[in-house]
């Protein structure tokens, strides 16, 4: 996810390397098998996509189901598994060359600040670890989905790594990976440990990560009445009004809701406050408004309410709302609903 050129290919890494480094590479390759060996409680099983090889190197069989499941979860389409595999190859040679360039983290080369926003718990162990292949690959799939994939793979990949050469390499090598798969090249069913679509911790983590991303854009974004209504899903960067911003966060969470206005939210979801997330909706009149509440224990300290301008910071796009700006009794004027299951 850096702005520079793609990493060297595996063949170039192994030829002529010192014995100690080669031994380290062997340990890393063997660690792939250890990560996926056995069936952790709560893990499911999946079948990998038909993925072949790149530059003479086979896509690791145990990674194929992970690419497939991550692609399916984030609706990346038929090209998703091969493109995830190509990114993994370009960034870290399937996990055997991590940490180059300096500062990059883990299997998919997230920069630390990006991992804070987009890192996911892909295997359900309660930890978001860029050096866990399931966490990293699911996080990469999530990031691609909210930056344009599969509708615009160039835009999504350019967001991942700001280089047209990188985008061209990933797309070309994804075609090679998919095209070189033999008829019998699909992986057998193996534990993948991906969380189900309804697992609250992953759903909420994805929503909070997207809320963080848009909040960082806030000084550069304006409230636009009408937002992205008529577009489902909403574009990753808007434009947003209050209800299209809330619709977008819910879509990123995987709820597949249309882009609704405040009146549309009257019958969406379930009534009352949620365990993890609550929608505060005032559906009618000149002061109609909607925003989200992420409950204590879910978000970092000081982050609880999120939405666009309403009675505070007139004209500003989506961001975290300081609780101190609420007038006494203001929250009482809203109807409460929550997303199903959270």
What pLDDT is recorded for position 4?
Answer: 33
- Whether 279 and 307 map to the same domain: the answer is yes
Asked if the structure places residue 179 within a domain, the reply is yes
Domain that residue 164 falls in? 10-191
- Whether 163 and 290 map to the same domain: the answer is no
Asked if the structure places residue 235 within a domain, the reply is yes
Say whether the peptide bond before residue 239 is cis (omega within 30 degrees of 0): yes
Asked if the structure places residue 2 within a domain, the reply is no
Asked if the structure places residue 268 within a domain, the reply is yes
What pLDDT is recorded for position 215?
Answer: 82
pLDDT digit string, tens, across residues 222-244: 788 888 999 898 988 889 999 99
Asked if the structure places residue 141 within a domain, the reply is yes
What CATH number has the domain bearing residue 80? Answer: 1.10.530.10
What pLDDT is recorded for position 246?
Answer: 96
| pLDDT greater at residue 36 or residue 160 | 160
pLDDT digit string, tens, across residues 60-105: 888 888 899 899 989 999 999 999 999 999 999 998 888 666 788 8
**Average pLDDT over every residue of 243-267:** 93
What CATH number has the domain bearing residue 272? Answer: 3.90.1720
**Average pLDDT over every residue of 24-46:** 37
What pLDDT is recorded for position 210?
Answer: 87
pLDDT at 32 over 70: no
Asked if the structure places residue 111 within a domain, the reply is yes
User: Residue 199 — pLDDT band, cuts 50, 70, 90?
Assistant: very low
What pLDDT is recorded for position 220?
Answer: 53
Give the pair of three-digit tokens for residue 41: 């409680």
> Mean pLDDT for the chain?
77
- Of 191, 211, 240, which residue sits at a domain end? 191
- Whether 183 and 208 map to the same domain: the answer is no
Stated pTM of the model: 0.47
| pLDDT greater at residue 210 or residue 39 | 210
What pLDDT is recorded for position 218?
Answer: 59
User: Residue 316 — pLDDT band, cuts 50, 70, 90?
Assistant: confident
- Number of folded domains that form the chain: 2
Asked if the structure places residue 177 within a domain, the reply is yes
- Whether 273 and 186 map to the same domain: the answer is no
**In this prediction, what percent of the chain has a pLDDT beyond 90?**
35
Q: Lowest-pLDDT range, 8-12, 126-130, 196-200, 281-285?
A: 8-12
- Whether 276 and 319 map to the same domain: the answer is yes
What pLDDT is recorded for position 201?
Answer: 65
**Average pLDDT over every residue of 167-177:** 94
| pLDDT greater at residue 143 or residue 297 | 143
Distances 188 to 48, 65, 136, 276 between C-alpha atoms, Å? 7, 8, 22, 37
Asked if the structure places residue 102 within a domain, the reply is yes
- Whether 106 and 209 map to the same domain: the answer is no
**Average pLDDT over every residue of 133-159:** 93
- Of 157, 191, 225, which residue sits at a domain end? 191
Which of 21-35, 40-54, 113-127 has the highest average model confidence (pLDDT)?
A: 113-127
| pLDDT greater at residue 25 or residue 319 | 319
């Amino acid at each position: 996810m850096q702005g520079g050129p793609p990493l060297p290919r595996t063949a170039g890494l192994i030829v002529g390397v010192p014995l100690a480094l080669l031994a380290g590479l062997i340990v890393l390759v063997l660690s792939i098998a250890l990560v996926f060996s056995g069936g952790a409680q709560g893990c499911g099983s999946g079948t990998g996509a038909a993925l072949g090889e790149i530059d003479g190197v086979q896509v690791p069989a145990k990674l194929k189901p992970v690419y497939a499941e991550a692609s399916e979860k984030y609706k990346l389409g038929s090209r998703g598994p091969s493109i995830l595999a190509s990114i993994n190859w370009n960034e870290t040679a399937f996990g055997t060359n991590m940490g180059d360039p300096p500062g990059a983290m883990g299997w998919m080369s997230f920069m630390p600040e990006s991992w804070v926003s987009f890192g996911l718990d892909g295997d359900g162990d309660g930890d978001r670890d860029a050096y866990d292949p399931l966490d990293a690959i699911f996080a990469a799939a999530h990031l691609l989905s909210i930056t344009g994939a599969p509708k615009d793979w160039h835009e999504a990949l350019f967001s991942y790594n700001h280089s047209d050469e990188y985008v061209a390499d990933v797309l070309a090598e994804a075609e090679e990976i998919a095209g070189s798969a033999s008829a019998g090249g699909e992986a057998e069913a193996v534990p993948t440990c991906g969380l189900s679509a309804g697992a609250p911790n992953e759903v909420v983590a994805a929503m909070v990560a997207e809320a963080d991303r848009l909040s960082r854009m806030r000084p550069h974004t304006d409230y636009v009445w009408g937002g992205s209504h008529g577009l489902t899903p909403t574009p990753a960067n808007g434009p947003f009004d209050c209800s299209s911003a809330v619709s977008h966060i819910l879509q990123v969470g995987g709820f597949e809701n249309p882009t609704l206005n405040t009146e549309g939210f009257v019958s969406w979801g379930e009534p009352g406050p949620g365990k993890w997330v609550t929608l505060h909706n005032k559906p009618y009149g000149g002061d109609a408004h909607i925003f989200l509440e992420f409950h204590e224990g879910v978000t970092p300290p000081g982050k609880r309410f999120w939405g666009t301008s309403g009675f505070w910071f007139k004209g500003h796009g989506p961001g975290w709302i300081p609780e101190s700006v609420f007038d006494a009794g203001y929250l009482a004027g809203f109807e409460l609903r929550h997303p199903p299951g959270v």
